Structure 1
Amino acid sequence: MDVFALAELGVKLVHPEGRCLRVDHEIVDAAKPKDIPGLLTQGMLDGTVTYSSVMDNFPTVARLVAFAPDTDISLALIGRCGQQIDPCETYLLCDAIIATGSTLQANDIDVWQVIKSKGDIVVGLCQRL
């Protein structure tokens, strides 16, 4: 798995010492594909551990084998403080992982609309169909 992750995905898996099973990672090559649904479709992966927000739009690609709700994150649309967002307009799309409210304040960002609340997103094991 380590060789595949590095060669095909540009991700180095970092294994802890001792009996801990938590594996960390470092992105070594950002240009290599990290599109989980695409990699499952192409048969490059047989399964993955990922968020439901990644796989929900691809029900014919994989099935959720086991999962647990993530009560720490929510999925929300964000924008600059004071900026008016018109739902009829087209905007450049970007995403961000925001761990704390201080991140929002430091970057002058407001939550415009919560799409999925904490606990509505699950992390789970997905198996290719």
Structure 2
Amino acid sequence: LEPNLGIVEVRDHKSFVMADIPGIIEGAHEGRGLGTRFLRHIERNSVLLFMIPADSDDIRRDYDILLGELTQYNPELLDKERLLAVTKCDMLDDGLLEELRAHLPEGIPSVFISSVSGLNIARLKDMLWEALQR
């Protein structure tokens, strides 16, 4: 129930600090769930990584809800670079991944990952590193 900071090691002895902010739910900007207590921490980050599980009923809708909560809390958060990681992808075959790809939000770089199998974790770190360099 607390934001956690950690050091993420990338290639060539590079690293960055990452903040893991607990899940935001619909209505958080109004104090629902953990509310604005954690939304404040998001303002300090230069890149926002949205993580939505592959077994979501509608990844695009879930992303829109999260983005909407951030927008209602502070519209300036829309100025931050955003990335999307679809998690738990070790459960899916290539056909399902391609089907999911067609339903992802437009205009946001995305990657399918799995912490269990390590799928695309290095690619995600590279994407985050590149975003932080802009």
TM range (shorter): 0.3 to 0.5
TM-score (norm 2): 0.34
Q: 1 or 2 for the larger relative contact order (CA 8 Å, sep ≥6)?
A: 1
Higher helix share: 2
Q: Which is higher, the Rg of structure 1 or of structure 2?
A: 1
TM-score (norm 1): 0.35
Higher strand share: 1
